[in-house]
């Protein structure tokens, strides 16, 4: 009825890419090299009411949720991929990447305690009435 599917296991493809060198990229990704993405450096966040936001003006100070000297986040299309420290080069800001965080488990999932999973018997198939 159906033909068997021939595939390469995921572990094989990732191991081969890692073994061929750190700079080597799979040829399938070459089509994506020229796709533009938005990079942003986030130094912190805060929550304000609309009243507080409208009251902002020159000289206002907004307190953020980060301490001075803490690493800042590098976001690609809004998703954090790295952390680093802000540097100034020839009067321009830059980011020195100190840690790559891509592939981390989101904090809400990482902090959740592991609960034992109870074994359940499979649900019986629904009965089909025949006319």
- The CATH number given to whatever domain includes residue 77 is 2.30.330.10
Domain hosting 89: range is 37-103
In a domain, 112, yes or no: no
In a domain, 77, yes or no: yes
* pLDDT at 6 > cutoff 50: yes
The model's pTM is 0.53
In a domain, 131, yes or no: no
In a domain, 91, yes or no: yes
Least confident of 8-12, 24-28, 66-70: 8-12
* pLDDT at 43 > cutoff 80: yes
* CA gap 119, 123 in Å, rounded: 12
Total domains present in the chain:
1
* CA gap 94, 84 in Å, rounded: 10
Beta-bridge partner residues of 87: 94
In a domain, 113, yes or no: no
């Amino acid at each position: 009825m159906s033909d068997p599917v021939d595939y390469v296991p995921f572990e094989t493809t990732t191991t081969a890419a890692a073994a061929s060198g750190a700079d080597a990229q799979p040829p399938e990704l070459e089509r994506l090299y020229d796709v533009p993405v938005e990079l942003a450096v986030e130094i912190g966040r805060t929550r304000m009411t609309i009243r507080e936001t409208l009251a902002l003006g020159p000289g206002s100070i907004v307190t953020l949720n980060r301490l001075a000297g803490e690493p800042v986040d590098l976001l690609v299309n809004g998703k954090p991929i790295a952390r680093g420290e802000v540097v100034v080069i020839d009067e321009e800001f830059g980011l020195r990447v100190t840690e790559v965080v891509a592939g981390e488990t989101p904090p809400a999932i990482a902090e959740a305690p592991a609960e034992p999973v109870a074994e359940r018997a499979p649900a019986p198939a629904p009965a089909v009435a025949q006319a």
